Chain A
């Protein structure tokens, strides 16, 4: 009940915040001196990347760990991990798409073999592999164990992506907000709009994960009911014959 109320309130709130971000980003904030209107992608691309790389895959790693830990083992964590990855893959693909659109005018190419771009693309493929692995028919706990191990192995890639712009010389700029000095190199209304975009897209992610989790839970319940009905049918057949 509480979960439903939370889901129903987060959805509209996320929608409102995304709309306000769009208004501030497209109408109110000024264009950049060098990049012109292309700078408005800053209110979309970093927020998508933040959710994809840190929130979604971080959540899948934590939930996978909780599933593998005997004391906290529950299929709820497996469902949460898979929901986070599903939405995370969408965010990762959108991150790559918006990055590519931004890269064309600033770097002159749609794609470059830059460390961060390449490692993000590899991460997207890895988690598509996770989703493929989940579709292999298996008993719920077997599937959960395999998926949890794979999610943890894949999560190793996340710190590599984060530090790739520091370790290797790349075209991609370093962190603007979460830089090593923790001093944001952006100010005024642009900074607040950027911050709002992070909140809005994180809430949108949370809402999508909750919806996906609910669908997974109902599917699992339905499978259980179906199994119970099939057993009852077989038993009835046994009695009659």
Chain B
């Protein structure tokens, strides 16, 4: 399973590096979302500073939908699935590989957007101890849930409209927990920030386990 996961993760990342869909489509979308949030709230520095963690995670959440659709589109063609079967790849490994590749892409996106938030919303990093897990754990959770629900949403024609409806309500706890944790990392007084990190870890583990168990039967259909 782990070997297959590594193979699929390398394949997905190579495709992304060559096609640059993430760089030219998903990343600009995330940055544009940050600009639009700032336009909607107005130029008050204090308001932008307070809202920064939530707006950052909203931008990541919406971008993650695009990333999940992109990831599933690679797997969507009949020839790719046929090739996976002929190679004898373990579906659990395919799921893990796709989730890891998407998580790495999301991490890059988060780092770029965080720099954007620091410049546009006038925030600074107060505690790396909270910022690092507050970026890594949601990336893992969002990618696992994105790939799992993406495989539920069926073919590419329906997935683009259906995936946001299916996955966004499920990811609401990640939005809350990640905003609280990042808020603490950016210097706000946030009680129980550590507990929110535990929520993020539980979400990532639960959806990774569910994905490993369910991806195979869902892809068969």
Rounded to whole angstroms, the CA-CA distance of A138 and B218 in the bound complex is: 13
**By the criterion CB–CB under 8 Å, are A133 and B221 in contact?**
no
Rounded to whole angstroms, the CA-CA distance of A138 and B153 in the bound complex is: 11
B217 within 8 Å of A (CB atoms): yes
**By the criterion CB–CB under 8 Å, are A126 and B154 in contact?**
no
Q: What's the least CB distance linking B36 to chain A, in Å? A: 23
A146 within 8 Å of B (CB atoms): yes
Residues of chain B within 8 A (CB-CB) of A133 are 152-154, 162, 166
**By the criterion CB–CB under 8 Å, are A122 and B165 in contact?**
no
Query: Interface 1/0s, chain A 137-151, versus B by CB < 8 A?
Result: 010011001100110
Residues of chain B within 8 A (CB-CB) of A122 are 169, 172
**By the criterion CB–CB under 8 Å, are B166 and A129 in contact?**
yes
A2 within 8 Å of B (CB atoms): no
Residues of chain A within 8 A (CB-CB) of B169 are 122, 125-126, 129
B44 within 8 Å of A (CB atoms): no
User: Using a CB-CB cutoff of 8 Å, which residues 203-220 of chain B contact chain A?
Assistant: 210, 214, 217-218
Q: What's the least CB distance linking B203 to chain A, in Å? A: 11
Q: What's the least CB distance linking A115 to chain B, in Å? A: 11
Rounded to whole angstroms, the CA-CA distance of A175 and B162 in the bound complex is: 35
Closest partner residue, chain B, to A118 (CB atom): B172
B170 within 8 Å of A (CB atoms): yes
User: Using a CB-CB cutoff of 8 Å, which residues 39-60 of chain B contact chain A?
Assistant: none
Rounded to whole angstroms, the CA-CA distance of A133 and B153 in the bound complex is: 7
Q: What's the least CB distance linking B176 to chain A, in Å? A: 10
Known: A122-B169, A126-B170, A153-B210. A146 touches B162 (CB 8 A): no
Closest partner residue, chain B, to A124 (CB atom): B169
Rounded to whole angstroms, the CA-CA distance of A93 and B218 in the bound complex is: 30
Rounded to whole angstroms, the CA-CA distance of A153 and B152 in the bound complex is: 11
Query: Interface 1/0s, chain A 191-205, versus B by CB < 8 A?
Result: 000000000000000
Q: What's the least CB distance linking B138 to chain A, in Å? A: 18
**By the criterion CB–CB under 8 Å, are B210 and A146 in contact?**
no
Rounded to whole angstroms, the CA-CA distance of A125 and B172 in the bound complex is: 12
**By the criterion CB–CB under 8 Å, are A149 and B162 in contact?**
no
Rounded to whole angstroms, the CA-CA distance of A128 and B168 in the bound complex is: 12
Residues of chain A within 8 A (CB-CB) of B155 are 136
A182 within 8 Å of B (CB atoms): no
**By the criterion CB–CB under 8 Å, are B152 and A146 in contact?**
yes
B158 within 8 Å of A (CB atoms): yes
Closest partner residue, chain B, to A149 (CB atom): B214
Q: Of the candidates B165, B170, B172, which one forms a contact with A153 in the assembled complex, judged by CB atoms under 8 Å apart? A: B170
Q: What's the least CB distance linking B174 to chain A, in Å? A: 13
User: Using a CB-CB cutoff of 8 Å, which residues 106-160 of chain A contact chain B?
Assistant: 122, 125-126, 128-129, 132-133, 136, 138, 141-142, 145-146, 149-150, 153
Tell me the A residues contacting B by CB distance below 8 Å: 122, 125-126, 128-129, 132-133, 136, 138, 141-142, 145-146, 149-150, 153
A–B pairs, 19, beta carbons within 8 Å: A122-B169, A125-B165, A126-B169, A128-B165, A129-B162, A129-B165, A132-B166, A133-B152, A133-B162, A136-B155, A136-B158, A142-B221, A145-B218, A145-B221, A146-B154, A146-B218, A149-B217, A149-B218, A150-B166
Supplied contacts A122-B169, A126-B169, 20 more A-B pairs, CB within 8 Å: A122-B172, A125-B165, A129-B165, A129-B169, A132-B165, A132-B166, A133-B152, A133-B153, A133-B162, A133-B166, A136-B153, A136-B162, A138-B154, A141-B221, A145-B217, A145-B218, A146-B154, A149-B152, A149-B218, A153-B210
